Amino acid sequence: MPDWKALYPFPSKFLEIPRSETNNDTVKMHYVDTGQPTDGSADESHTVLCVHGNPTWSFTYREILKQVSDTARVIAVDHIGCGLSDKPQRYRYCLQQHVGNLSRLIEQLDLQRVTLLVHDWGGAIGLGAALRHPTRISRFVILNTAAFPPPYVPWRIAACRIPWLGNVAMRGLNLFAKAALTMTLNRLNQLPPDVAAGLIAPYGNWHDRVAIARFVKDIPRRKSQETWQVLKGIEQGLGIFSEHPARIVWGMKDWCFRPECLQRLKGLFPQAIVEELEDVGHYVMEEAAEEVISHIRAVLAQPSVNL
């Protein structure tokens, strides 16, 4: 059996967060925390906060947790419903809720001088949380993602939104997560067995795949939808970070977040240094971890911009 746990040897930590603004019940948000601890000195401490998308989890940032922790504190979170976090069946799985959850983690851990590393849905979630705490955010490393209303929905995603059939495919057969193990690649023909096993390990049954399906359902197509308006607000607000150090590392063979998404993000982060990886697909961390790590180290060395 593939031993994915050997690739992810990090102690688990949990943050209890309210189930909703009107409910006193809590759910547990899982995260891992490695490297140099925050010592209270704003001049010396760095935190890299890693925010994943769908259908991955903090496991995809394992090399960041291992290799960047010699110079910075590195935190990787699992959204509610993902990874090792709680997976409530009745829950408000939507962008606004995920942004609020991440914002609470930033507050509760009192994170300062944050370098935000985001990918896929983690882009909208992470950047949305950054807008709630702009003075805590210093730098950005952005992988294939979007922080604006979707200009299109790829047919592979649209097929998963077919009523009843899509839910059966994603939650019953786990086709979304399993297909991602190959459809997200270009440089690699396939993932090593232990890596593939790790990526889908938390999603072993119908119950545990609830967030995978709800993330897909939350992709908005109309301006009247709440998540469309949240995305529009994030895009409009990002101008406050236009002078912040930023790196964009983009897999150009990504059929989901295509080059037009990259061009739009360049406009939002005009100071960003961009590396276009011509032979990399959507799973940038799985195909180009060393390139991403190089950019993280480089951006950490840049002077921060304070708001």
CATH 3.40.50.1820 applies to domain 4-300: yes
**Residue 47 tokens, joined:** 């935190």
Q: Where are the beta strands (DSSP E) in 94-221?
A: 114-120, 137-145
Query: Is-contact 96 214, C-beta < 8 A?
Result: no
Which pLDDT value is given to residue 45?
Answer: 78
Query: Is-contact 70 44, C-beta < 8 A?
Result: no
Domain boundaries, the chain: 4-300
Query: Is-contact 304 271, C-beta < 8 A?
Result: no
Q: What percent of the chain has pLDDT over 90?
A: 92
| Rounded mean pLDDT, 156-185 | 95
Q: For residue 219, give the nearest of 288, 155, 305 by alpha carbon.
A: 155
Categorize the per-residue pLDDT at 27 as very low, low, confident or very high, splitting at 50, 70 and 90.
very high
- Separation of alpha carbons 51 and 58, rounded Å: 8
Which pLDDT value is given to residue 37?
Answer: 58
